[in-house]
Amino acid sequence: MSMLRVSRDGRVLRLELNRPEKRNALNGELCRELAAAIEEGDQDTGVGAILLSGAGKSFCAGMDLDEMLTPAEAGLAEAHERLFTIGSRVTTPIIAAVQGAALAGGTGLAANAHIVVASADATFGLTEIRIGLWPFVIFRAVVAAVGERRAMELAITGRIIDAREAESFGLVHHVGLVARAEEIATEVANASPEAMRTGLRFVTETRELERDAAGEFAQRFRRDLFATADFAEGIRAFREKRRPRWPSLHR
């Protein structure tokens, strides 16, 4: 049985963690499969959004502790680094549908998603301190999602927060039925591919820049998009009160 279910629904690439008996804990093999699937989807012009979910009652309970007891496993550190920085590298939106527990590495996956929809029973937390560890690899993504002060408090205390508190932190965008994640993924996938990829690339490339330098990037990126066929089509469609037919979808 594959640990990662991969399917397509139109322009939405669906990735489902499939270790329900392990609460979808992440071992090295699953980390590599998931990172590869996201990266391949990001390179596929037919994919407009990536929908990430977990089979069973939990989204992801974090790292596979049995494997973590044997850290000599080849490439484990590299697999973790590759997966938990992926949200800052891809230019295809990742939408996470979180139900049940999303702890430790599960919170890291949520932080790497661009949009997170959580069920009312979802829980999050940087629980590594409870087993004598620190969330080294996922910490940067969590800081980007909730800010350093929030991330620090979660890492120090190891406490578990519910979906509503995660929403108040900015880690979760919508609380309710996880089916909403499918709707959002479909909506996002139908946006201008050129504008979406350019926008996410702008966010990534300007994250560490000073304000003035970031402003220069913004002007250049905006000028480039002004000159695209997608922008011209978007204006025409708005004026004609119809759905756009994005030229970049057919290149």
- Torsion-angle region of 175 (φ positive above 0: left; ψ -120 to 50: alpha; else: beta): beta
Reading the block at residue 179, the tokens are: 């089916």
Spacing of C-alpha 248 from chain mean position: 23
Q: What is the C-alpha separation between 218 and 202, in angstroms, rounded?
A: 7
Residue type, 184: I
Active site residue 21: no
Tokens 């430790």 belong to residue: 104
Q: What is the CA radius of gyration of the chain?
A: 19
- Dmax over CA atoms of the chain, in Å, equals 62
SS3 content of the chain, % helix, strand, coil (to 5): 55, 15, 30
68 contacts 198 by C-beta, under 8 angstroms: no
How many helices and strands, by DSSP H and E, does the chain display?
11, 9
CA distances from 148 to 151, 155, 169 (A): 5, 10, 11
Does residue 113 contact residue 138 with C-beta atoms inside 8 Å? no
Token reading at 17: 């963690």
Q: Which two tokens stand for residue 69?
A: 């007891």
Query: Considering 21, 39, 81, 128, which one is annotated as catalytic?
Result: 128
Q: Which residues are catalytic?
A: 128
